[in-house]
Amino acid sequence: SQQGEEDPQALSIQEGENATMNCSYKTSINNLQWYRQNSGRGLVHLILIRSNEREKHSGRLRVTLDTSKKSSSLLITASRAADTASYFCATSYTGANSKLTFGKGITLSVRP
């Protein structure tokens, strides 16, 4: 299985702090995507990083990818209460119709 696994499973921080979430996977991938899910809602695409990229930024998000360690991290800087949600990494392997394989997710709580 190439499934991603995130850690920690739950993270609680104060507003304004940075949140770092990690994801590990088992097999070679084509890309890795991070999603956010508010309670009972849909999956919002945050950022994609390709296997030949090491770091990517989008607003307050920074994603890194280490293919030698088969791991990725998502950093949210200057967190806000509205960032409270579950965060998932999802991996995709090479293939035109490739499915996403999700991890179990990280529950992030940002205290005001």
Partner 1 sequence: EPEVTQTPSHQVTQMGQEVILRCVPISNHLYFYWYRQILGQKVEFLVSFYNNEISEKSEIFDDQFSVERPDGSNFTLKIRSTKLEDSAMYFCASRILYEQYFGPGTRLTVT
Q: Is 104 in the site for partner 1 (CB under 8 A)?
A: yes
Contact 56, 49 (CB under 8 A): yes
User: Residue count at the site for partner 1 (CB under 8 A)?
Assistant: 26
Strand segments (E) across 1-112: 5-7, 10-14, 19-24, 31-37, 43-50, 55-58, 61-66, 71-76, 85-92, 101-102, 106-111
Q: Which of 19, 23, 25, 35 binds partner 1 (CB under 8 A)?
A: 35
Q: Is 90 in the site for partner 1 (CB under 8 A)?
A: yes
Q: Is 94 in the site for partner 1 (CB under 8 A)?
A: no
Cis? peptide before 112, omega within 30° of 0: no
Q: Which of 14, 42, 52, 112 binds partner 1 (CB under 8 A)?
A: 42
Q: Which long-range contacts (CB under 8 A, 24 or more apart) does 45-50 make?
A: 46/74, 46/87, 47/74
Q: Is 84 in the site for partner 1 (CB under 8 A)?
A: no
CB of 43 or CB of 75, closer to partner 1: 43
Binding site for partner 1 (CB under 8 A): 3, 30-31, 33, 35, 40-45, 48, 50, 88, 90, 92, 96-105
